[in-house]
Structure 1
């Protein structure tokens, strides 16, 4: 990864460990020649730098989708809440200004395109096939399920679906992303191609294998 972008990513607000971010960049580089990339869950743009760097090298773009009002786990009173992101004018979280500053400082404004709105709403009107889909939005069952159901059909054959915060052991973290990840694996449409920490990359099969449920 270009040193300037690695430095920008490591300085940005967010929860992506460096090793997982590097893996995200490498996976992005491997698939970005197929088409555009898409991230669900922008926050302040940390992971968008890793994927945006891959998009720039491949001559592609990254769409990053978020309502920027914060997922459940970063609201006031929760462990990951950052008071600096509160907008006192409306009494709600607003990560959009921080995202814009992060991407501008990284020099990725031409490659990283913000789509501001609820993921489930945007997915209903989305028609562009995707080379890569990274699901890292809300981490409870409902948002993860809706992100998977709404966005995974847009992944091209040979493209890749990436999940973050996959914890097989409940003692390590929440189980909703893990359950949806297992669902994707059992669908017959995807095969796991890489793991790094809590990151899981699943490639969409050109000819999905049949499962017992298909018989």
Structure 2
């Protein structure tokens, strides 16, 4: 991965360790030739830099889907809340300006397309087959289930579905993404890579 893009990704606000980001980049380079890529849950653009760099390398594009009002775990009162992301005009989270700054700084605006809206709403009108799908939106039961059910059918055979924050041990993290990951393994996906909490599953 180009050093400047790696530096930009690592400096962006977000929760992805560098080794998992590098794995995203490598998976994007591998599967991006099989169709456009989509990311569900963009926050401030950290993971979009890794995937956007891969999209450029693979000659494709990355669609990033996020309402940018923040998932449950980054709202006020939660451990991951960042008060600098609150728009004082409305008293609500707004990560979109930070996302746009990150992507512009990385010079990836030609290959990263921001889709601003609720994942389930966008999925209901989506018809483009995907070579890669990265699910990293809300981590409680309902959001992760909707993300999987709404988007996984669009992954082409031979494409890849990637989950973040998969923790088999409940002591390490929430279990909703893990349960959906297990469901995907039962519904036509096979695991091809594990890096930290990142799981990559190829569609059979």
Common fold by TM > 0.5:
yes
Counterpart residue number, 2:122: 122
Quote the residue 1:83 is aligned against. 83
Q: Indicate the RMSD between aligned Cα atoms, in angstroms.
A: 0.4
2:149, 2:107 → 1: CA distance? 33
Q: Deviations over 1:119-159 (max 9, x none)?
A: 00000000000000000000000000000000000000100
Residue 33 in structure 1 maps to residue 40 in structure 2: no
Structure 1 residue 35: Cα displacement: 1.1
State the shift of 1:30 in Å. Answer: 0.5
Structure 1 runs, 4 residues or longer, greater than 6 Å off = none
Query: Structure 2 CA distance, aligned partners of 1:185 and 1:34?
Result: 21
Question: Structure 2: any 5+ residue segments left out of the alignment?
Answer: none
Distance across 2 between alignment mates of 1:174 and 1:48: 23
State the Cα distance separating 1:47 from its structure 2 match: 0.1
User: Which whole-Å deviations, capped at 9, do the CAs of 1:61-87 have from their partners, x for residues lacking one?
Assistant: 000000000000000000000000000
State the partner residue of 1:193.
192
**2 CA distance for matches of 1:78 and 1:2?**
35
CA distance in 2, matches of 1:198, 1:182: 14
Structure 1 unpaired stretches of 5+: 206-215
Match of 1:135 in 2: 135
Secondary structure of 1:78's partner? coil
The Cα shift of 1:168 comes to: 0.2
Secondary structure of 1:195's match?
strand
Query: Distance between the aligned counterparts of 2:34 and 2:176, measured in 1?
Result: 29
Instruction: Provide the TM-score with structure 1 as the length reference.
Output: 0.94
Please list the CA deviations of residues 3-46 of structure 1 after superposition, one character each: whole Å capped at 9, or x if unmatched: 11001100000000000000010011000011100000000000
How far did 1:186 drift?
1.2
Q: CA deviation at 1:59?
A: 1.1
- Cα drift, residue 58 of structure 1: 1.0
CA distance in 2, matches of 1:128, 1:139: 25
Which residue of structure 2 lines up, in the alignment, with residue 104 of structure 1? 104
- 1:180 & 1:62 partners in 2: Cα distance? 23
Alignment-derived partner of residue 148 in structure 1: 148
TM-score when scaled to structure 2? 1.00
